[in-house]
Structure 1
């Protein structure tokens, strides 16, 4: 999947008013995901996405300088996405689900299953909704 198609799908599914809003949603979600999953997994996922989008997974030092593999759950994930995207928590949850769904569609193999399994159960719900390759 190319960059423009990825952003277009996010914009259409999330019913966003502009491509810029879709870009912000992608950046906010994937930067936060990059902080939550182990660095190697973030790199593997990033390598399957359009370059500009995948790079968001590698920007892990942006939030409080902590880095990758942080142990936080759904509420903190949504809070960070909301802060980065400039939206409220309900909209942030919806945006994250859409971005992760499109991310799943843009990748091959079982990478999103590995991502889902690396997350705590309360956070998996954001990834599971769109995961094509779900095993259970």
Structure 2
């Protein structure tokens, strides 16, 4: 999957009006996820993704392995995406789940499980992977 296919898929699934919005949603989600997981895991997760997308997980992050919960994750994604109104929270969560599901289509089976293992099961992080589980989207 190349960058245009990736962002086009995100744009289509989120029914966004343009590529810019799809890129913003992708950058916001993956940069924030990159902040939460360990550097090595971010690099592994980024490997199969298009170069322009993998940079969001690895190159744009000041510090990997930060500790924050699901709500803080959504706050950071919302800020980066420019969706800070209280009514935007459900959209932000849906955008994040969709971006992760599209990424899962390019990531080998088991790689996303390693990321999931780094996130606390009891803090709402399972929400991030709902569409992956529903679609069975992971690559083999």
Deviation at 1:124, TM superposition (A): 2.2
Q: How many residues align?
A: 129
| Aligned-partner Cα distance in 2 for 1:109–1:123 | 19
CA contact (8 A) 2:78 2:89 kept: yes
In structure 2, distance between residues paired with 1:126 and 1:95: 10
Cα shift readout 1:19-41 (whole Å, capped 9, x = no counterpart): 01000000000000000001000
Residue 68 of structure 1 pairs with residue 64 of structure 2? yes
RMSD of equivalent CA atoms? 1.4
Compare 119-128 and 85-94 and name the one that shifted more: 119-128
Match of 2:132, SS?
coil
Unaligned runs of 5+ in 1: 62-66
**Which residue number in structure 2 is paired with residue 54 of structure 1?**
54
- Give structure 2 stretches of 5+ with no counterpart: none
Residue by residue, what CA displacement relative to the aligned partner does 1:6-56 show, whole Å, maximum 9, x if unpaired? 111100111111001000000000000000001000001111100000000
Does the C-alpha gap of structure 1 residues 133 and 94 become closer, same or farther in structure 2, counting only changes over 3 Å? closer
1:105 Cα deviation (Å)?
0.6
TM-score (norm 2): 0.87
DSSP 3-state at the match of 1:109? coil
> How far off is 1:133 after superposition?
7.5
Q: Which residue number in structure 2 is paired with residue 129 of structure 1?
A: 131
Q: Which residue of 1 aligns with 2:73?
A: 77
Q: What does 1:25-36 correspond to in 2, within 5 Å?
A: 25-36=25-36
Q: Distance in 2 between matches of 1:34 and 1:20?
A: 21
Q: Are the aligned partners of 1:11 and 1:19 in contact in 2 as well (CA < 8 Å)?
A: yes
